[in-house]
Chains A and B, each alone.
Chain A
Amino acid sequence: MSEKPKNFMNPYLAGILLGLVLLATIYITGRGLGASGAMKSAVVASVNVVAPSHVQNTKFYQEYTQEHPDGILKNWLVFEVIGVVIGAFLSGLVSNRLTFKLERPEKVKSMTRIVGAFVGGAFFGLGAQFARGCTSGAALSGMAVLSTGGILTMFCIFGGAYMFAYFFRKLWL
């Protein structure tokens, strides 16, 4: 099992395949791909286990449960993201990329990377709630259907990242 990891796919080829998957998704289901929505479902489901009365009494969770009458986790995005986990795992398997390690730039301490990943994730999760979707659900899928909000969010994600990149260069360079 010490084979070298294979090269990544040519980016333009990967892009075309990604576009075809997205197009198929829209044609079959009438909606785009997503990721952060499933995280929202996971959070609501967890809170519902820990503090069910809190879910019943708090507006955000009330709105969520009203929008999902079939059940918190019986949701298209939840199944899709379970698929993403399987698909990525299979891809890692065929390309010898399965590991168990913390990836970080050489000059960066492990603890810095851990804190960075958590804080970055928290910001992304928060922002995705505002924008009603993340890079997949709002930016990519929004772009495919020409949604004004989706395309605006896309420019803000990438524009924002460029804007802030300088201040966090020590985390990467």
Chain B
Amino acid sequence: MSVQDLEKIFQDKIDADIRIEPKDWMPDAYRKTLVRQMSQHAHSEIVGMLPEANWITRAPTLRRKATLIAKVQDEAGHGLYLYSATETLGTGRDELLEQLHTGKAKYSSIFNYPTLTWADMGAIGWLVDGAAIMNQVPLCRASYGPYARAMVRICKEESFHQRQGFEILLTLSRGSEAQRRMCQDAINRWWWPSVMMFGPNDDASPNSAQSMQWKIKRFSNDELRQKFVDVSAEQVKILGMTLPDPDLVWNEDKQHYDFGAIDWDEFWNVIKGNGPCNKERLEARVKAHEDGAWVREAAMAYAEKVSRNSVKKEIA
């Protein structure tokens, strides 16, 4: 069969909403794009553990401590599903981690911002996980089977995290003067970076059309961003707090909120490595990996010994 025929079968399947599975033929560019997108997501989960793990040892109550550990542990689990799903495309975890550690692979820039107060645990859950859910729910219908199935499970847990985050902020918003200040301060710091999580404006997002055709992206960056702003602008009222955007106003004609200009200069700078925590986050990942090298070697050496001995036993 010619490549053209294979490509036609492939695109017909996608158009008919039939999932592509690991052993199916697929264009190299589709495979490559997916590996990049999925591994970026996996890396984001793993790096994303750090800003929240930062508060586990300082969580204010035993219940909060337990739920925060469980949440960060869920993120490790998401990383695991996504690395495994990426492996089905022929790229192993070691190679992907190497790309992360050398800075070749990217992860979500949001995790390059610091977590300065307990309220940040709430703001991350509400805004950052909220924005992630907007991005990820459509991916439960992504064309690549292992990816879509991983996303179903991830989205369920993420929406739980989002509710937890909102509840942290709600508790603070009903608390003391200092707690309300903490709550507003966290919203002020996390709002714009969260709005930026949807990526560049549609006219500056060159790969989007192809990804839409492949159904590994189902809504444009600006569509998703608008939806996020609309939802958040309403939810913040429940908290009795405000979003730090003087231009945020309901537009009756559009039936959407208008919002202010995004600081793209900051966006690109954080991507380039100039964010407040880029260096620390990556160093923490590299350190964990390097400090763990002897552990992984020992586990391998022991596993080999055990399998050698079991072979010996079988022969005897």
Q: Specify whether A and B are partners.
A: no
